[in-house]
C-alpha cells in the first residue's frame, strides 16, 4: 500500500527553506570507504530494511549528531560502523551532501534508486540534483518519490518546490497545499505555498492561508519578497 515512510534522520526540508533565500543484500557488511577522489564505493549497497537493536542505537547516535548540525561528526560515526542496511546508506548519501560532497552523494542515491527501487532513494537523488541546480533532472525523481509516498508531507513539499522553480505555479500550489495539510499547517511549506499562490494570483488561497492557518502580515511580506525572486528566475 502506498503511504508515508520514516523520515527520521532526514533534514532535506531545510535545503528548500534555504534555497528560497538564495540489490538485495549480498554478503556486504563493510563500511563505505572513499575510493579515488570524487568517487565512492557503491558496490556494497544493501537494500534490506531489518536492523539489529545495536544498529538502531548506532543510527540514533548519528541522528542526534545530525539534529545538532554536526554533520561531519555524524558522517564519521556512520563510517565507523558496518553499513549493512538501507537506512545506513540513506544517511550516508544525505551526509555526503551535507558535507559538500554532492557528486559522491548523487552516486550513492542513484545506485540505491537503481538497485533497491526505494522511494527514499529517489527523494534523496532528487534533492541532491536540486542542490546542484539541476532542476529538470531532479523533477522526475521527486515525482516518483511523491507517487511512492503520497502522504509524506516533506516529499510533497520538495516536489512542489521543484515545480515552483520550473514556473509551474498552479501544479506547485496543489502539491504544497497537500503538504501543508499533511503537516498540520507547520513548517517551511507555509512560505512555499504562499509564494505559489502569489505567483498564480490565487487570492482565495492567500485568504485561506490567513484565515485557516494564521498566516501573518510578516509572513506575507516575506512571501511577497520571495515571489519577486521566483519571478525573475522562472523559465
Predicted confidence at residue 40, as pLDDT, reads 82
Ramachandran angles phi, psi of 117, nearest 5°: 60, 35
Q: One digit per residue, pLDDT tens: the chain, 235 residues?
A: 454 454 443 455 444 444 443 321 222 233 344 443 457 889 889 899 888 898 899 999 999 999 999 999 999 999 998 888 999 999 999 999 999 999 999 999 999 999 999 999 999 999 999 999 999 999 999 999 999 999 999 999 999 999 999 999 999 999 999 999 999 999 999 999 999 999 999 999 999 999 999 999 999 999 999 998 876 555 5
Ramachandran angles phi, psi of 134, nearest 5°: -105, 70
Predicted confidence at residue 152, as pLDDT, reads 97
Do the Cβ atoms of 93 and 105 come closer than 8 Å?
Answer: yes
Report which of 155, 221, 222, 210 is spatially closest to residue 183, judged by C-alpha positions. 155
How many residues are recorded in the chain? 235
Domain residue extents for the chain: 24-116, 154-235
Q: How far apart are the first and last CA of the chain?
A: 37
Do the Cβ atoms of 15 and 130 come closer than 8 Å?
Answer: yes
Do the Cβ atoms of 177 and 190 come closer than 8 Å?
Answer: no
Does the pTM surpass 0.85? The reply is no
Predicted confidence at residue 37, as pLDDT, reads 46
Which residues lie closer than 8 Å to 194 by C-beta, 6 or more apart? Answer: 206, 209, 215, 219, 220, 223, 227
Amino acid at each position: 500500500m502506498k503511504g508515508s515512510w520514516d523520515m527520521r534522520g532526514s533534514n532535506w526540508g531545510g535545503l528548500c527553506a534555504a534555497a528560497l533565500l538564495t540489490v538485495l543484500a549480498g554478503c556486504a557488511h563493510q563500511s563505505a570507504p572513499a575510493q579515488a577522489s570524487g568517487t565512492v564505493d557503491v558496490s556494497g549497497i544493501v537494500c534490506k530494511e531489518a536492523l539489529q537493536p545495536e544498529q538502531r542505537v548506532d543510527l540514533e547516535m548519528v541522528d542526534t549528531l545530525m539534529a545538532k548540525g554536526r554533520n561531519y561528526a555524524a558522517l564519521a560515526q556512520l563510517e565507523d560502523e558496518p553499513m549493512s542496511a538501507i537506512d545506513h546508506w540513506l544517511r550516508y548519501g544525505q551526509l555526503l551532501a551535507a558535507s559538500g560532497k554532492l557528486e559522491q552523494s548523487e552516486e550513492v542515491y542513484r545506485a540505491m534508486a537503481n538497485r533497491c527501487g526505494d522511494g527514499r532513494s529517489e527523494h534523496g537523488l532528487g534533492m541532491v540534483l536540486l542542490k546542484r541546480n539541476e532542476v529538470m533532472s531532479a523533477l522526475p525523481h521527486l515525482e516518483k518519490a511523491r507517487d511512492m509516498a503520497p502522504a509524506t508531507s516533506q516529499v510533497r513539499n520538495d516536489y512542489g518546490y521543484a515545480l515552483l522553480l520550473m514556473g509551474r505555479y498552479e501544479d506547485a500550489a496543489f502539491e504544497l497545499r497537500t503538504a501543508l495539510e499533511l503537516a498540520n499547517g507547520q513548517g517551511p511549506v507555509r512560505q512555499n505555498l504562499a509564494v505559489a499562490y502569489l505567483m498564480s494570483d490565487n487570492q482565495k488561497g492567500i485568504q485561506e492561508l490567513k484565515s485557516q492557518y494564521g498566516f501573518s502580515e510578516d509572513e506575507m511580506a516575506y512571501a511577497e519578497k520571495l515571489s519577486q525572486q521566483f519571478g525573475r528566475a522562472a523559465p
